[in-house]
Chain A
Amino acid sequence: MDALVVDDLQMHFPLRSIIPWRVPRVVRAVDGVSLRVAAGETLGLVGESGCGKSTLARCVLRLIEPTRGRVLLDEEDLTALPEEALRRRRRDIQMVFQDPTASLNPRLSVAATVDEPLALHTPLAGAARRERVDEVLEEVGLGAGLRDRYPHQLSGGQRQRVNIARAIATHPRLVVLDEPTSALDVSLRARVILLLAELKRRMGMAYLFISHDLSTVRYLCDRVAVMYLGVLVEEAPAAELFDHPAHPYTRALLSCIPVPDPDVAPERLRLSGEVPSPIDIPGGCRLRGRCPLAQPVCAEPVPLREIAPGHTVACHLV
């Protein structure tokens, strides 16, 4: 069964127009994205900054209201839920943000931070709740000795563990992880990745893992979706995507990863220029202005199609 289904999701932000009679322009941050995450599965969502990954995550949790499309959690349409019912459903869908410091309340101790979702979403009270807090802190590798500390007394890695503890405290079905390791140092990154893998194995929740760090995605994800300028351009099982990337954008991204082996020269497919503005999106394939392989046919609309079982790609040239 799918834990999460995202159906034709669209998030357009209108820009204020200086000239009152002119139709306001819009930022097409997410422009018709469909994806599913099976129960217990990890889907990686990769792409450069500005491609709409984080906007999509915020729409999935309805932290912002999408302009079109549906988000289904266990077959229940979150986008149709009234405010109060949505709040109750939030125990099943939690999020870990990129900046471990900014996403913690500096005035709440570690224990109080992890206690908050339990107080809001569970019937636990008193000693039972305190016990659950200690248990969750133990699960994320924070000893009980840290329970009364405040965020400023913790290291970056410890802070991210508190964020993870807060997210998993209510046994959610799905955790949305928005670049959870990008603010961390090399050795801390490895620890947090291993912790996330371990928690998933033990608790069986699904992850939507958003990242631009492809090596981490390879390590943690079952399937990977690649996003560019608001749309998906390729989706495949992780091994398939890394071994047989089809879309020029995916190939370019992979060729940019510095491989820690001086004898391995990755395929060299360089995109020219930078990501264009999501206000003036080119018609047809959105990559065509930067793609070294672009042909006249790329100006035509390009739908996702299946090229191997579970492997879809949106490119005329594949």
Chain B
Amino acid sequence: MTDLLTIRNLAVHFDTDEGVVQAVDGASLQVGRGEVVGLVGESGSGKSVTALAILRLLRPPARVVGGRIDFDGRNLLACSEEEMRAVRGAQISMVFQSPRTSLNPVLPVGRQIERLLVQHGTSPPGQARARVVEMLREVGIGEPERRAGQYAHQLSGGMCQRVMIAMALATNPRLLIADEPTTGLDVSIAAQILDLLGDLGRRTGAAILLITHDLGVVARRCDRVVVMHAGQTVEWAPVRALFHTPAHPYTRALLRSIPRVAGAGEMEPIPGWVPSLLAPPPGCRFAPRCALVRPECRTPVPVRALDADHRVACFAVETF
């Protein structure tokens, strides 16, 4: 069976006064049906831009300049705006980073979900209200009847994110993109939200693309992981392989840079800085920060398969 989502060599550029920012340049990834895939990297690595490109939500000055995004056998980049409207929300939905600002501040949350249900024809108008209450209960909101009548500012951050998740899953999408869904939430609430996402994903069969910079979240929640640096995807691996045998120097540096609770071990910051994407280095964009850099790193990097499901874009990694 083919993958649900396949991105090949996506390139997104931003036109600015200083020049063209090559935010994403050669991003490739696959998400299988019902699978949870983590997309990790530092800020500015192009994770969110990639997510927005999938939904075709990028607006000028951003433009997609290359690549393909195949969802369920059709190239989304070639779809008309009309066709995209049928995909967005219904087949691919998204949970954003700041739940409170993603909700409409002047509409009770229940009304927002109701509108969505009616718009997508999921529930007939007469039954939508009852369905809203049921959905709020499913995402773990106490007193759902009362909460449905409240506005975003009357709910806590955790509750707003639960509402967002309810909305994202209202239409039984096949792919849910969650962009840093727990940033800004307390640890205990973040854990509850991730539990909820995982449970609902399993129950509805939706695949999840989880965008995060927290490798701890990836370790517990994902089946596979894609690592991104400065607009390029550099490593693709099943979650165990990524943590036990990380191959790309960037992945290894990223793993070394996090403080750990179990045994205060070594912690090393990633050397150097994310390069300017106005004039990124040719070839591998990690090369200026990399200890293993060689002359050929300045040329396009081929992707090598280390294993059936573990691939890396790096010259320095010899096939095991």
Cα distance, A188 to B274, chains bound together (Å)? 11
Indicate whether A185 sits within 8 Å of B239 (C-beta atoms), given known contacts A190-B267, A190-B268, A262-B220: no
Chain B at the A interface: mostly helix, strand, loop or mixed? helix
Q: How far is the CA of A48 from the CA of B190 in the complex (A)?
A: 11
Counting CB contacts under 8 A, is A67 at the interface?
A: no
B243-A214 in contact (CB<8A): no
Q: CB within 8 A of B243: which of A187, A242, A255, A260?
A: A260
Docked-complex contact B259 and A193, CB < 8 angstroms: yes
For the complex, give the distance between the alpha carbons of A256 and B194 in Å: 10
Q: Is the beta-carbon distance between B257 and A270 smaller than 8 angstroms?
A: no
A290-303 interface bits toward B, Cβ cutoff 8 Å, 1 = contact, 0 = none: 00000000000000
> Contact at B259–A215, with CB atoms within 8 Å?
yes
Tell me whether A256 and B191 are in contact (CB under 8 A).
Answer: yes
Stretch at the interface among B88-96, B164-172, B181-189: B181-189
Size category of the binding interface on chain B: 35 or more
Q: A48-B188, A218-B264, A256-B190 are in contact. Are A190 and B219 (CB under 8 A)?
A: no
Contacts of B215 in A (CB 8 A): 258, 260
A100-114 Cβ-contact flags toward B at 8 Å (1 or 0): 000000000000000
Least CB distance from A184 to B in Å reads 9
Say whether B43 contacts A185, CB under 8 Å: yes
Q: Is the CB of A256 within 8 A of B188?
A: yes
Residues of B within 8 A of A227 (CB): none
Contact with A186, one of B158, B186, B218, B257 (Cβ below 8 angstroms)? B257
Question: Which A residue's beta carbon lies closest to that of B44?
Answer: A185
Instruction: Give the distance to chain B from A183, nearest Cβ to Cβ, in Å.
Output: 10
Q: Closest residue of chain B to A193, judged by CB? A: B259
What per-residue 1/0 map shows which CB atoms of A247-263 lie under 8 Å from chain B?
A: 00000111111111111
Interface secondary structure of A, over-half rule: helix
Asked if B217 CB lies within 8 Å of chain A CBs, one says yes
Do A252 and B188 contact each other (CB < 8 Å), given the known contacts A190-B268, A260-B243, A262-B240? yes
Cβ of A271 under 8 Å from chain B: yes
User: Distance (Å) between the CB of B250 and the closest chain A CB?
Assistant: 11
Residue of A215, A242, A255, A262 most packed against chain B (CB within 10 A): A262
Residues of B within 8 A of A216 (CB): 259
A260 touching B156, Cβ below 8 Å:
no
Assess the A274–B267 pair: CB atoms within 8 A: no
Task: Tell which of B156, B191, B214, B259 touches A274, judged by Cβ atoms closer than 8 Å.
Answer: B156
Q: Provide the bound-state CA to CA distance between A186 and B217, in Å.
A: 13
CB distance from A19 to the nearest CB of B (A): 22
Q: Evaluate contact between A242 and B270: CB separation under 8 angstroms.
A: no
**Min distance, Cβ B157 to any Cβ of chain A, angstroms:** 9
Cβ of A219 under 8 Å from chain B: yes
B15-30 contact mask (Cβ, 8 Å, vs A): 1 or 0: 0000000000000000
CA distance A270 to B186 in the complex (A): 13
Are B267 and A262 in contact (CB-based, < 8 A)? no
Q: Are B261 and A253 in contact (CB under 8 A)?
A: no
A46 to chain B, nearest CB (A): 10
CA separation between A260 and B242, bound complex, in Å? Answer: 11
Do the beta carbons of A258 and B42 come within 8 Å of each other?
A: no
Q: Contacts A258-B214, A270-B191, A274-B189 given: A187-B220 contact, CB under 8 Å? A: no
Contact B219 A259 (CB under 8 A): yes
Q: Which chain B residue has the least Cβ–Cβ distance from A48? A: B186
A191 close to B (CB within 8 Å): yes
Lowest 10 A-B CB distances belong to which pairs? A258-B216, A256-B191, A190-B269, A219-B259, A48-B186, A187-B270, A256-B187, A215-B259, A260-B215, A191-B269
The 6 listed contacts between A and B (C-beta, < 8 Å) are A186-B257, A212-B186, A253-B187, A256-B187, A258-B216, A273-B142
With A215-B260, A256-B187 given, can you name 20 additional A-B contacts, CB distance below 8 Å?
A: A48-B186, A185-B43, A187-B254, A190-B269, A193-B267, A194-B267, A215-B261, A219-B260, A219-B264, A257-B216, A257-B261, A258-B191, A258-B194, A259-B216, A259-B262, A260-B219, A260-B258, A262-B239, A270-B188, A270-B192
